[in-house]
C-alpha cells in the first residue's frame, strides 16, 4: 500500500494480486473510513475488451450490479464527443451527486473516467482500477484527468483525485507484450528522473521484467508509483517539480499528434521522446557521454520501438501546442546525470529540430520494411 498525500487529497494505492475479486468490500472500507457508504448508483467505465475478459470476476464481489459504460479503445475516442455520450448515459440511468464511478481499464479509460467524475454534477467520487502496466505505474496516480482536442493532447481536463487506486497485477496476464513494453518506458522514465536504484534494477533485471516475473514486476510497479506519489505530494498542480514527469513527453506527444494517434502506443511515443531528450541533454551537457550511452542502452533494453517515417520540422511545429509551454516560453525536461532531471525554458527551435532529426534517424524503417 502506497500513500498519496497532496494539499487537496489523501488516498492510497493498493498494489497486489487478486484485488479484482474483492473490489466492493475494499471500496466499502475506503468509503467507511471517510464516513460514507456505497451509493445507490454505481457506474463502471471500461472498454469492451477489458469487460469481456474480466467482467465475471469484477462483478463477483458486488451485491448490486453497477451500470456499465463502454468506451471503445484508442486515443481517437479520448475526446469530448465520447465524454458527452457517457455523461448522457449516466443522466438517463439516474446518476446524481452521490453516484460513484469506477474507471476500470487502461490509461485512456482512466483519463476519461476521471474527467467525467470531475465534471458530472460538478464532481462525483471515483475509484481507479487500472488494467495496463502504464496505467498502474503512471496515469492512475496523481489526479490528472482529461481528453484530447484535434489541436493537441490532453488540452481539456481537470485535477480530480480518486478515492483510491487498486492496481491488480493479475490483470496484466492478458496484456499483450507490446503494451507491456510500452508501459515499461514510463518506469524507465521514472528511474531516469528520480530513482537511480530503479534505473539500476531495470538495467540488471530486464529479462525477468520482460518475462513477467511477478516479483520483478511488483518491484518496478511499486517503485514507479512511490516516485510519482512523492513528486505529486510536493507539487500537485504541476507548477514546478511535477513537470519533470514529462521527460520524453514533448516530442512524444508531438509524434502522437502528427500521426493522429494511429501508429504508436503512448508509451512507445514516450520511448522515442526519451531518446530525443537524452540527445538534447548530451548537447547541453546535463549528462555526460558515458551517461548518455548508458541511458540509451536502457531505453533499447525495453524495445523494440516501432519505426517511424516523419518530418522533423512537423514534429517541432507540433510541440508548439504542448500545454507545458507558457506564451512564447518553450519548456523542456532534460535528464541531469543519473536519477535526476530539470526543466529548462530556453530550448531553441534549432536545438529541438536537431534532437528530432537524431531521433528520426534512429527510427527509420529498415530497407524493405514499411514505415509509419
Residues belonging to the active site: 122, 144, 186, 228, 238, 242, 246, 249, 253, 266
Q: Cα separation of 97 and 287, whole Å?
A: 50
Give the CA angle between residues 359, 363, 368 to the nearest 5°.
155
Which grid cell is 173? Answer: 496476464
Q: Cα separation of 162 and 142, whole Å?
A: 9
Beta strands in the chain (DSSP E): 2-5, 10-16, 42-46, 67-70, 100-105, 125-130, 144-149, 152-159, 164-168, 332-335, 341-344
Yes or no: say if 20 and 31 are a contact pair by the CB < 8 Å rule.
no
Yes or no: say if 302 and 184 are a contact pair by the CB < 8 Å rule.
yes
Which residues, in sequence order, are bridge partners of residue 104?
46, 129
Which residues, in sequence order, are bridge partners of residue 335?
341
Identify whether 195 is preceded by a cis peptide bond (ω within 30 of 0): no
SS3 12: strand
In whole angstroms, how far apart are CA 106 and each of 20, 163, 339? Answer: 15, 18, 27
Which position has the grid cell 532529426? 357
Say how many Å lie between the first and final Cα of the chain, rounded.
41
Closest Cα to residue 188, out of 205, 174, 168? Answer: 205
Phi, psi (rounded to 5 degrees) for 225 = -65, -45
Q: Cα separation of 210 and 204, whole Å?
A: 12
Which grid cell is 271? Answer: 520511448
Amino acid at each position: 500500500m502506497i500513500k498519496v498525500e497532496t494539499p487537496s487529497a489523501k488516498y492510497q494505492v493498493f498494489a497486489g494480486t487478486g484485488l479484482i475479486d474483492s473490489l466492493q468490500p475494499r471500496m466499502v472500507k475506503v468509503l467507511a473510513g471517510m464516513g460514507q457508504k456505497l451509493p445507490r448508483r454505481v457506474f463502471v467505465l471500461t472498454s469492451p475488451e477489458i469487460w469481456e475478459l474480466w467482467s465475471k470476476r469484477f462483478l463477483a464481489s458486488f451485491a448490486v450490479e453497477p451500470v456499465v459504460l463502454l468506451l471503445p479503445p484508442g486515443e481517437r475516442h479520448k475526446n469530448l464527443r465520447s465524454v458527452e455520450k457517457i455523461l448522457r448515459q449516466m443522466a438517463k440511468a439516474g446518476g446524481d451527486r452521490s453516484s460513484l464511478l469506477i474507471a476500470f481499464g487502461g490509461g485512456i479509460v482512466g483519463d476519461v473516467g476521471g474527467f467525467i467524475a470531475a465534471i458530472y454534477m460538478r464532481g462525483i467520487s471515483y475509484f481507479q482500477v487500472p488494467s495496463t502496466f502504464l496505467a498502474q505505474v503512471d496515469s492512475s496516480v496523481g489526479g490528472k484527468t482529461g481528453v484530447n482536442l484535434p489541436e493537441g493532447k490532453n488540452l481539456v481536463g481537470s485535477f480530480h483525485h480518486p478515492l483510491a487506486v487498486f492496481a491488480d497485477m493479475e490483470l496484466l496476464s492478458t496484456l499483450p507484450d507490446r503494451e507491456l513494453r510500452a508501459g515499461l518506458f514510463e518506469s524507465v522514465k521514472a528511474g531516469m528522473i528520480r530513482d537511480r536504484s530503479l534505473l539500476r534494477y531495470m538495467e540488471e533485471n530486464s529479462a525477468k521484467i520482460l518475462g513477467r516475473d511477478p516479483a520483478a514486476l511488483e518491484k518496478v510497479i511499486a517503485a514507479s508509483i512511490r516516485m510519482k506519489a512523492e513528486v505529486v505530494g510536493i507539487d500537485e498542480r504541476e507548477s514546478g517539480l511535477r513537470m519533470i514527469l514529462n521527460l520524453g513527453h514533448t516530442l512524444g506527444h508531438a509524434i502522437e499528434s502528427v500521426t493522429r494517434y494511429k501508429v504508436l502506443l503512448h508509451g512507445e511515443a514516450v520511448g522515442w521522446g526519451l531518446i530525443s531528450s537524452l540527445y538534447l541533454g548530451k548537447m547541453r551537457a546535463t549528462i555526460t557521454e558515458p551517461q548518455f550511452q548508458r541511458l540509451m542502452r536502457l531505453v533499447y533494453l525495453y524495445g523494440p520501438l516501432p519505426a517511424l517515417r516523419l518530418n522533423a520540422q512537423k514534429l517541432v511545429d507540433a510541440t508548439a501546442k504542448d500545454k507545458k509551454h507558457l506564451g512564447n516560453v518553450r519548456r523542456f525536461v532534460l535528464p541531469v546525470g543519473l536519477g535526476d532531471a530539470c526543466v529548462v525554458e530556453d530550448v531553441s527551435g534549432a536545438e529541438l529540430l536537431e534532437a528530432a532529426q537524431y531521433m528520426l534517424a534512429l527510427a527509420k524503417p529498415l530497407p524493405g520494411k514499411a514505415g509509419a
